[in-house]
Amino acid sequence: MAHNLQVLGFGALAIDDIIYVDRPLSAGKGKVTNRTQDHGGNVATALVAVAKLGGRAGFIGWLSDQPLTDISARELERHGVDISFAPHRPDAKPIRSVIMVGPEGDRFIAYDDDVPHGTSESLADSILAQAQVLLIDGYATHADTIVARARKLGLAVVADIEWTIGPATERLMSLSNHLVLPLKFAQAYSCETDPTSILRKLWSDDRSAVVLTDGERGSYIRQTGDAVLWHVPAYEVKAVDTTGAGDCFHGAYAFALTRGKQPVDCAVYATAAAAISVTGPGGRMALPDQSACLAWMVKENAPVPRAIAPAD
């Protein structure tokens, strides 16, 4: 069937109260320089990034059955994310987060995630089959049958996982053919420290890519059919707020997949998008459009992927 949407995703929505302070977070005390509120959630922000880049994105996680009071849902719509296929339940609500941001853009996030997670098990295959990519986060352990169905239907599953709850997370990772993970989580999960060792350890025959993101140090990639492992350096930027940078990376990576790009090229594109996103406040306020990303990618000092080791 025709792909009416390119990227679908489900995960927790969030409302973020963001506090900017004048000293590093390690200082223990400092003055508030600014306060703002933004909407977040790993997958939700990634989908907003897809829409901002010009893609067709749809959210299929739980929404409140009171649409007029569901401000998180309205915010997704405002940014161009389709919510018409999302299931509803009376107890659905967003996570509430407080984010402290230091002068160098580093942040600490405190959140309360006692909300419904996953999505409806009755979600129709015809909805999933509209898209080319399914974006998920660690909360997708609550609906791994949906992830399995998406893979069976031929969707690429891009997983943003930051913690493990044991066998349920392991199953979720086995169902995901594009693991796009923070390096720190991957180190803890794999019991390895070197990125090349982790890329080899997390590999499986049905994997399309493993991508390890490491902030200002860039990302490390293994892709199917390639004899080498890759490193994509990060851009040198003055970070205002790193909130949502990883989400932006995931959204841009997923969007690039829908355009037929190989994983390394997806990571190059996502690196530009994430770099732009940290130059402004909040998790969504500085998300870039397609023209901004393309302009950054042709800069004289734009990062160039380099082979770092054999794949095996």
What is the phi-psi region of residue 80: left when phi exceeds 0, alpha when psi lies from -120 to 50, beta otherwise? left
CA distance linking residue 179 with residue 219, whole number of Å: 12
Please check whether residue 136 is in contact with residue 172, taking contact to mean a CB–CB distance below 8 angstroms. yes
Q: How do strand 219-223 and strand 228-232 relate by DSSP bridges?
A: antiparallel
The pLDDT of residue 1 is 41
Domain 7-310 carries which CATH code? 3.40.1190.20
pLDDT along the chain (312 residues), means of 10: 82 91 92 91 96 98 84 93 96 92 88 91 96 97 97 98 96 97 97 98 96 96 97 93 92 98 98 95 89 96 95 93
Expressed in angstroms, the distance from the first to the final Cα of the chain is 38
The pLDDT of residue 98 is 93
Domain boundaries along the sequence of the chain: 7-310
Among the listed residues 210, 236, 213, 223, the one whose alpha carbon sits nearest the alpha carbon of residue 303: 236
Q: pTM (2 decimals)?
A: 0.93
